Amino acid sequence: MKPTRIDGSDVRTLVREGAKRRTSFAFCMDGKNDPLLMIQPGNKPEQLRSHLKTEGGRAPMAWGTFTVRSDEMEMICEQAPAKAIANLKRFLRANKPKVNVLFRDDGGNLLDSLKPERSSADDGVTTLDEVNTTGIDPKLVKPLLARAKRIKPRIAQAPGPLERKLKRGLSKALSEINDGRLVEAQTLITVIEQAVARIGADREGADASMKRADRSSKTRTLGADVSRAKKLRASITRAPGSKRNKLDRAVQIAARLLKQKDYDKARVVMDRIEKALGAIV
């Protein structure tokens, strides 16, 4: 594969390539004092020096490899002159890669870092850090948050317009979790997983994503139904003696049906219990 020059408008290409594989990079300023960044998968980074010189690049030059995981791009610099790193940081800051960037030497020591600036277009967007699950059963919400965290870095590999659409969808799903609407959040996350699988940005195929969503849905449904049965058992204490015993037996039947994974019949029994309790009041 030939080296690729990354212009300011192509910084997202840089992020997408780093999310796919460890990629070589080389950077310097050219004769007009414009930034010159080149990347190439599969080659030793120092081999990019000749390509920089061909494009008019001049010392100092920095080169190394980079990868992107989650919201973090790590650039391991085998050659790291301070001036070149400062210019590379300035170039990335100006073009907003929307990930945290860590510059390290080949020994793993942190040289510098760059945090993404929040743009006005991101105002009102819900992030994973802003999700508040207070009062929501952890057994119900943790699987959804785990799926959201898993799919978030893969969204960055989608083409521009689709990436923005999927990011808005994920933000909406997290907002639904915040509001306790887990069914709606589950649906949105499933749609995003399928979209990412279809464009090949996920090692997991669309069928596997559907199976994952189905398992999560069953776990969420069982948790919600068990919680409902417990609330009903607590509520029947207000019923008169004879009716209380009958309702208690009905709750036990519902619990047994849930254990057998016969959710539909269990819900029918619980619906009848709720109707009976309503008549008592």
The domain segmentation of the chain, as residue ranges, is 4-114, 120-204, 224-280
Confidence (pLDDT) at 43: 67
Q: Are 74 and 66 in contact (CB under 8 A)?
A: yes
- The CATH number of domain 4-114, selected from 1.20.120, 3.40.20, 3.30.1560, 1.10.3470: 3.40.20
CA atoms in the 13 A half-sphere facing the CB of 174: 22
- Please give the chain's pLDDT, 281 residues, in tens: 688 888 877 788 888 888 888 999 999 998 888 999 999 987 689 989 999 999 999 999 999 999 988 778 899 999 999 999 999 999 998 888 878 899 999 888 889 998 876 544 444 445 666 677 776 777 788 888 888 888 887 787 777 678 888 888 898 888 888 877 888 888 888 888 888 887 764 444 445 545 554 554 444 455 677 777 888 878 777 777 777 888 888 888 988 888 887 878 888 888 888 888 777 65
Q: So what's the pLDDT on residue 204? A: 47
Beta-carbon contacts of 3 under 8 Å, excluding residues fewer than 6 positions away, are 38, 39, 40, 43, 48, 51
Predicted confidence at residue 207, as pLDDT, reads: 53
Q: How far apart are CA 230 and CA 254, in angstroms?
A: 10
- Output the pLDDT for position 129: 63
Phi, psi of 93 (to 5 degrees): -60, -40
